[in-house]
Structure 1
Amino acid sequence: MPKLSPLFAGGLLAAIAAASPAIASGPMDPAAIDRAVMEFTGAGIGQPGGARLPVDRRMRLNACGTPLQLEWFGKNRDSVQVLCPDAGWRIYVAVSQGAQQAALADQPGSGEIVVSRGETVAIVVEGGGFSLSRQAVALEEGAIGSWIKVRPAQDRKAEPLRAQVVRPGQVAVRLR
């Protein structure tokens, strides 16, 4: 095998480095992720439709050498997935209720009240591998995607819960 001169080998390495895509060094700025999410959702942090909270400043993600990829995540679009393929990381940013309602606004019949105050509804509680259902009374009216207060039908003294309207006659609470 022929030996390469140090000068040629150094030039070869420089040429390879120049031909390969730029890889960012150092940590990713969480404020840059916040700005990207703000541009994606069209709302600021803490505003209806925007991120609930800023990205945790304690996270140490590798800098992204390519533009961040953002997309809605979850059945109710209650998070934004932020992906950096070249650095190999992905995070999820929770968004406020306004974004969920805006996302559901594209669906037919949105904005239409489907649960009335005083109506008996099924409340479904879902969590890691389980689902429970029982009857409740709606204390507020709501459209699909909106959050309303409900109280278990059998216990008038129970504390009201906030649940999301899923369809006419059904609300849900999702435990994570």
Structure 2
Amino acid sequence: MVTIFRRALLLSAAIAAPALGQGFENLEMLDSRVAAALGANVGEPGGPAAPLDRRLRLAACPEPATIEEPAMNAVTVRCPAQGWRIRVPLAGGGATVTRAAAVRAEPVIRRGDQVEVVALSRSFSVSTTGIAEQDGAPGDRIRVRTERRSAPFIGQVTQDGRVALPGFN
């Protein structure tokens, strides 16, 4: 009888073990999404200063977490459905404001403009249209939506007035 109880206990522990990890956000995936949104990998100028702390236990977000534009040398990642928010520090050369940056170029995209969103690669290019949620000069990162109800994403304004998705080159 005791042997059957031990086997049942071990079996239930083995079945429950994988279920424990399912309730938390995948931090490796979140790291890669932040790097893609910023257009720079961990440790590179403009990218995250370090990977997310693996000790974080964020509740799994039912929809993709939003990544806001860089501000005060960090980017904010948030899950409105779960109510969590984290700030990810940026590596040097990121969103720091210098005197040269204070003299900004004239925006080529205005909030509400319909823009061409492009993903460019050496072997292909894909484009669609979106609506700009911010003004943007060439080189600026702005929020864009492809549909009214879709989550915004961040792209970089090009010289010709298009918005390029980060992570493609």
When normalised by structure 2's length, the TM-score is 0.43
Higher relative contact order structure (alpha carbons within 8 Å, sequence separation ≥ 6): 2
Q: Compare CA radii of gyration and give the structure with the larger one.
A: 1
TM-score, with structure 1 as normaliser: 0.42
- Pick the structure with more strand per residue: 1
